[in-house]
Structure 1
Amino acid sequence: MTEGALRVLTYNVHGQRDDRAALAEVVRAVAADVVIVQEGPRRFGWRNRTANLARAFGAVLAVGGLPSLGNLILTDMRVHVHRTWTTRFPLTPGRHMRGAAFAECSVGRRRFTVAGTHLSLDAAERASQAELLRAELSAVRTPVVIGADVNETSGGAAWRTLADGLTDAAVAADATDRCTFPLHGPTGRIDGIFTDPRIEVVRYDVVDTPLTRRASDHFPVVADLIVPELPGT
């Protein structure tokens, strides 16, 4: 394996309301080092449900659940997790409360920080949430990887905020025509992976198989990356 190689999967799992066996098989088949989940457990019994989900995926929970309102970051045993934190975005009355999960990690000597989020259905609110997410990451010095259900395509303000100064993995792989939602008749790329420019995007894919069409209402997005070794790390 190439030194610094990292496979990242971002996946809205639709609250596990679809074929759970297919969902687990999809994630296990991707064999990602980092799995960023949207719509994971966030309410009653979330600890046990999150542990069961991680186990089904063959992964370990780094951070997430109720504190991040259903955003999860899971890892395999190659990844060392150094610190984690969560944030909640301000609640607009009558709307769905949302948040984000963060984990500073390493593979070997190469450090990076992962963020996962699921933004609002309202355009103005999600633009504000994207700005808050980027502000949360402004003090991070390690290369950043964001996995997100942005709930809009690349022409939107929130998407542009997330991508500002970062690499949209689909753009790097010349794969912007690969839609992620809705499952039947996909028309938009609303799920994305955004990386620090110091990270090399080797491969990008939207996984469209008979299993993924049973597992969720979104297609999973996967990217193979090379994380750089920075001076002093």
Structure 2
Amino acid sequence: MRFASYNLLDWTGTPTMQVEGERQQRVVDTIVALRADVLAVQELKGPAREAGRLAAQLGQRVGMTSLVETTVDGPVQAVAAGDNTLHVAVLWRPGSVTAVPGTLRRFGGGQSADPVWRGPGWGTLVRVGLDVGGRTVMVGSYHAPVFGRERRVDQAETVLGAMTRPAGPVLLGSDSNTVGAARRPGGGDFFDPDPYADREWFADLVHQCRWETDADGRRWHWADRRPAEVWELGGLHDTAVRSPVWQATTGHWPTCDYGRRGIARRIDTIHASTHVFDAVTRHAVFDTPLARAASDHLPVFVDIDLTQVTDGR
């Protein structure tokens, strides 16, 4: 099975300008080229009431579905609406993958008045159980807040609980908006180098870094890895360590302020519970000219040997 995660960059499905329509077609073509069986997406853009329609429209264009069930009130899609017009969804290939009834849960400004999910940012999570080859895997798509370092940590705990209870196989695709905390095999250094510590300070780093200032006014700063540490210590592990090389997922886009400063970051991640982690045979960034011209984020994917996935006991 191939599972992928992709931030689509404000995907509306019906752009008003030709150049944006061409870009969004490149997004569609990139998804088709990915050949994923299950796909977590971030940044479907539109009013909250349109989130389900956007997911269904995207699925139709790429040969996938997000339809969990159809009720008297209409179709229920595996989407969660954010409070800043940006939404997340899980899609899958119909026939070979099916949704498990009763497993859909949504967290986000469009669903809840809980303050941990509201305010600047657009922290949003959808999770749904999928039957893949006769085995149920809890799959999620998460977009972490852009602003609010403490909110990001709090949401990391909530996401962990939502994805891992009850215990079982878990796959989570996310735009994590933070630097990873996974260690290289054998307990070595962080897999992700700190992209900020050796860079000159600029204002946007207040959303990404921790810092200290000494009595003489000298300040030093470093990446805030706390959200990623919550997942690692809580049993959701970054599958990137299964790759022999580190590769950025952002920084290539012409208008990316970090990229213009020479800062390349890997903030698009896939995390797996221990039931799935050892079954990952490949983790990779889908880095092609088409993908680089489609979005400010590159897709990431993992290939999984389903025969090696354990059942959670």
Measured against the shorter chain, the TM-score band is 0.7 to 0.9
From 20, 27, 31, the counterpart of 1:23: 27
In the TM superposition, what is the alpha-carbon distance from 1:124 to its structure 2 partner?
1.3
Residues paired across the two proteins, number: 227
Among candidates 30, 33, 43, match of residue 39 of structure 1: 43
Aligned partner of residue 37 in structure 1, secondary structure:
strand
Which amino acid in structure 2 is aligned with residue 110 of structure 1? R
> What is the rounded CA distance, in whole Å, between the counterparts of 1:144 and 1:232 in structure 2?
10
Mapped to 2, the partners of 1:58 and 1:94 lie a distance apart of: 34
Q: CA RMSD in A?
A: 2.4
2:228 partner amino acid: W
Higher RCO structure (Cα 8 Å, ≥6 apart): 1
Deviates most, 135-144 or 101-110: 135-144
Give the aligned residue type for 1:120. Answer: P
Q: Percent identity?
A: 26
Contact 1:42 1:66 in 2 (8 A): no
Whether the 8 Å CA contact 2:275–2:309 is kept in 1: the answer is no
CA contact (8 A) 1:169 1:194 kept: yes
**Match for 1:114: what amino acid?**
V
Q: Which residue of the other structure, out of 4, 9, 26, is the alignment partner of 1:14?
A: 9
Unpaired stretches in structure 1, ≥5 consecutive residues: 1-5
Is it true that 1:160 corresponds to 2:229 in the alignment?
yes
TM-score, normalised by the number of residues in structure 2:
0.66
Partner Cα separation in structure 1 for residue 280 and residue 124 of structure 2 = 26
Quote the residue 1:85 is aligned against.
Answer: 105
Report the Cα distance in structure 2 between the residues aligned to 1:33 and 1:231, rounded to whole angstroms. 20
Distance 1:67 1:217 in 2: 20
**For the structure 1 residues 171 and 230, does the alpha-carbon distance in structure 2 shift closer, same or farther, using more than 3 Å as the test?**
closer
Cα displacement string for residues 54-107 of structure 1 (whole angstroms, at most 9, x for unaligned residues): 112211014004279611000002111103121226447751342200010112
Structure 2 partner of 1:212? 291
Once the two structures are superposed, what CA deviation does each residue of 1:111-169 show, in whole Å capped at 9, x if it has no partner? 21001101112221111111111122342232001111110111411112223323311
Structure 1 partner of 2:216: none
SS of match in other structure, 2:266 = coil
TM value normalised by structure 1? 0.87
**Helix, strand or coil at the partner of 2:275:** coil
Q: What letter matches 2:99 in structure 1?
A: V
Aligned to 1:66: 81
**1:134–1:28 distance in 2 versus 1, CA, 3 Å:** same
1:230 Cα deviation (Å)?
Answer: 4.9
Query: Unaligned stretches of 5+ in structure 2?
Result: 13-19, 68-77, 182-224, 254-258
Q: Deviations over 1:13-51 (max 9, x none)?
A: 111275011101100111101110011145153333222
